[in-house]
Amino acid sequence: MLTRAAEYLLAGLKTPEWTQVHRWRYAFPTSPLINTCLKANTPQPLVCCGDWCGGNLVAGAMQSGISAAEQINQQMSQQLLPRNSFLDKLAATKQ
Ligand SMILES: Cc1cc2nc3c(=O)[nH]c(=O)nc-3n(C[C@H](O)[C@H](O)[C@H](O)COP(=O)(O)OP(=O)(O)OC[C@H]3O[C@@H](n4cnc5c(N)ncnc54)[C@H](O)[C@@H]3O)c2cc1C
């Protein structure tokens, strides 16, 4: 994350003088949906997303947001989002 942040924001972020990881446990919807987002069959896009869709952690919330964006984009202009997405970059970083 720091490498990416340094690449996009500020080079110095790659080598911080001090770091601390603080983990929270606040994302626990008790009955999350299997679907990554909810869409209504209406002429105008109506899509719901959040950490209660497709999982119950912040990563699920992010995936849900991307899924909702793809749905809206398809309904608005029938175009797929570019494949060189944030998640692709994240996966490439792991390799
Ligand atoms: C302090 C803290 C630490 C956390 N740490 C972790 C963690 O380490 N790991 C983890 O998995 N989860 C963590 N979570 C939970 C995680 O942040 C949530 O699961 C996630 O952000 C939910 O994403 P979301 O998009 O569903 O909702 P949100 O991130 O809450 O986004 C909802 C958005 O809707 C906006 N909004 C609300 N009402 C309106 C309105 N009427 N009009 C327009 N906009 C509106 C809000 O301003 C907000 O930007 C943490 C939460 C907190 C509070």
* pLDDT per residue as tens digits for the range 36-74: 999 998 878 899 999 999 888 888 899 999 999 989 888
Measured by CA distance, the residue closest to atom 21 of ligand 1 is 58
Domain extents in the chain: 24-80
How far apart CA 29 and CA 9 sit, in angstroms, is 33
- DSSP class of residue 11 equals G
Q: Does the beta carbon of 48 lie inside 6 Å of ligand 1?
A: no
Q: Relative to the CA of 29, which ligand 1 atom is closest?
A: 19
Is 0.75 topped by the overall pTM?
Answer: no
How far apart CA 90 and CA 1 sit, in angstroms, is 9
Measured by CA distance, the residue closest to atom 7 of ligand 1 is 24
Q: Is residue 6 predicted with pLDDT exceeding 80?
A: yes
